[in-house]
Structure 1
Amino acid sequence: MKIEVSNLTKRYKDNIALKGVSFTLEEPKIYGLLGRNGAGKTTFMDILAGNILATEGKIRIDGEDPFDNQRLNEDICLIKEGNNFKRDLKVKNVLKIFSYFYPKWDQQLADDLVREYKLNVNAKIKTLSKGMESSLGIIVGLASKAAITIFDEPYIGLDAVARKKFYELLLREYEEEKRMIIFSTHLIDEVSLMFEEILILEEGNLIVKEETDVLREHTCAVTGNAEQVESFIQNKRILEKKQIAGMMTAYIYGNREEAAEIGLQAESIPIQDLMVYLTDKRKGA
């Protein structure tokens, strides 16, 4: 499916959550949607899922508006960090309702994951722990087989072992049947290796949209003698500089091989660090 975002703007009274965002997603990939709290991520996902309307601009999915579009909504599944399900429903009722809504629903997968996460299908949502409710959201998201599956911090309350299990399940299902997965998280170090493309929002603006491999290849941390590093980074885009005594580390857009050729140590920048540097106003990002 093709997602076209054109000049997308959303205002909430005096707050502008999105400011004229434009981009296109065309391929089945695992996309990382990153940014600090208040960057506009959740607002964007709600508009994409057809839950709310934009103030200005538009989103089109295969040329259609997702808002109040039953046919299109059957191909979109948004799992948020909480409040995905009515509190008085039982787990088995939730699974049955979603199985009717999503035409590609995989009941066998849902049953397998219920056993995997040890969910009591007769328990009401309001009696579930936060982790168990997150597990149910993960089950619905994966079993929906929706062409556009969106996870917004889907694992609140899950421990590290349960989160690792989710990542493995997500990758397994994605490899078996490619779909467009949009994943928003603050635990970037845990999942960045899964991301094929990164989008970073900052205060309602899209500041990065790039393939992950390209970002890793064209950003680096350069370390060496301060004078030599300063000379090397002239005319390059600098994300951050740190100096201790006569040594300096500079985080830049640049080629690692070029730095290594003149004797500087150069390493790739982790995606989480890159996001921090790009969105830290104090550093002039």
Structure 2
Amino acid sequence: MKIENLQKGIDQQDILQDINLTLKQGEIVGLIGRNGSGKTTFFRSLAGHYELDQGKIFINQEDIQINKILRQKIFYIDEQYNFLSNYSLNKLLFFYQHAYADFNKEKYLSLTKKNKLHPHLKYRAMSKGMQGLYKTILAICSNAEYLLLDEPLDGLDVIVKKNVLGILLEDVSENNRSIIISSHNLNELESIIDRALILKHTRIQLDYHLEALRENARKIQLVFKTKKVPTLVKENSQLLHFQGRVITAIFENYTEELQTLIQAEQPILFEELPLTLEDVFEANLANKNEVNSLGGVIL
């Protein structure tokens, strides 16, 4: 899938601008942003629930706004306008078989039976965890090439969550499918995604491949003799915390040469700490007031 110059506004307010992105098969992508940053609008725009103000979306080099059958290659359930509640699972199977020409009924029946989801059960009568599991089953059985999952693990207990993740990861491995997941639980995302997109101020501000991030970035805690932070540190890092003289920062392009230059500043403390996706999120999305609330100052 290739997204070119996607723009969408609602009520005369820009929500998404200049979104340019290519999604590869077999890739699990995390969509990260604060509440109200446009994650749901992004999903609705890709799924065709919203008309684009500008831009194009291509699948296999075809514009899906022209060839609308290609929308069957995208699966998305909108949580805010969820029509599932009033129907039995049997009826929902009927709907989705007709919505997706390649729907895998055999796999659907196998997974619902294995997870004790009776066909006459009403969706609204299920627990939140079972609803989450059922939506995951629908997603993979649709045989859509691109699965858009908006907070799919929210509210699930540990056992159901493990089951949902197992089903998703097995499916990606077997079918080379692409998944975009938004979640507020970055620790969970970090364990499964290959790539992280950070959505901020209407745009995809950063696009990280986690393997490269782990290889090149470092989280360092530093203390210098005075509160004055060396220019070298300011120019090559993103602040996480600054309390007293203790600086915790992320260096995204960390090299031996940079380490030597920092060491030349004779820090009293120089300690490498484990770097998490949550650290990256905080460094890129926290605003200045929030950093200051930690008792620090902006570098």
TM above 0.5: yes
What is the TM-score of this pair, normalised by structure 1? 0.87
| Secondary structure of the structure 2 residue equivalent to 1:149 | strand
| Secondary structure of the structure 1 residue equivalent to 2:191 | helix
2-structure distance, mates of 1:225, 1:239: 13
Matched, 1:267 2:273: yes
Q: For residue 258 of structure 1, report the CA deviation from its aligned partner.
A: 5.6
| Secondary structure of the structure 2 residue equivalent to 1:233 | helix
Could you say which residue in structure 2 is the equivalent of 1:117? 115
Q: For residue 230 of structure 1, report the CA deviation from its aligned partner.
A: 3.9
Matched, 1:137 2:135: yes
Could you say which residue in structure 1 is the equivalent of 2:48? 50
1-structure distance, mates of 2:10, 2:88: 34
Kindly report which structure 2 residues correspond to 1:146-161, keeping only aligned pairs within 5 A, or say none: 146-161=144-159
Structure 2 gaps of 5+ residues are 264-268, 292-297
Aligned residues: 282
1:50–1:73 CA contact under 8 A, matched in 2: yes
1:90–1:122 CA contact under 8 A, matched in 2: yes
- Code of the residue aligned with 2:44 in structure 1: it is D
1-structure distance, mates of 2:258, 2:65: 49
Matched, 1:279 2:271: no
Kindly report which structure 2 residues correspond to 1:1-285, keeping only aligned pairs within 5 A, or say none: 3-67=1-65, 69-81=67-79, 83-227=81-225, 230-231=229-230, 233-244=233-244, 246-255=245-254, 262=263, 264-282=270-288, 283=291
Per-residue CA distance 1:151-191 (angstroms, 9 max, x = gap): 11123432122112111111111111111111111111012
Q: 1:218 to 1:230 in 2, by over 3 A?
A: farther
Q: For residue 192 of structure 1, report the CA deviation from its aligned partner.
A: 1.1
Root-mean-square deviation (CA), in Å?
2.7
Structure 1 gaps of 5+ residues are none
1-structure distance, mates of 2:80, 2:132: 7
Q: 1:221 to 1:227 in 2, by over 3 A?
A: farther
- Bigger mean CA offset, 73-82 vs 225-234: 225-234
1:106–1:143 CA contact under 8 A, matched in 2: yes
- Bigger mean CA offset, 38-47 vs 26-35: 26-35
Per-residue CA distance 1:98-141 (angstroms, 9 max, x = gap): 12332332223222321343223202223333333222211101
- Bigger mean CA offset, 102-111 vs 171-180: 102-111
What is the TM-score of this pair, normalised by structure 2? 0.83
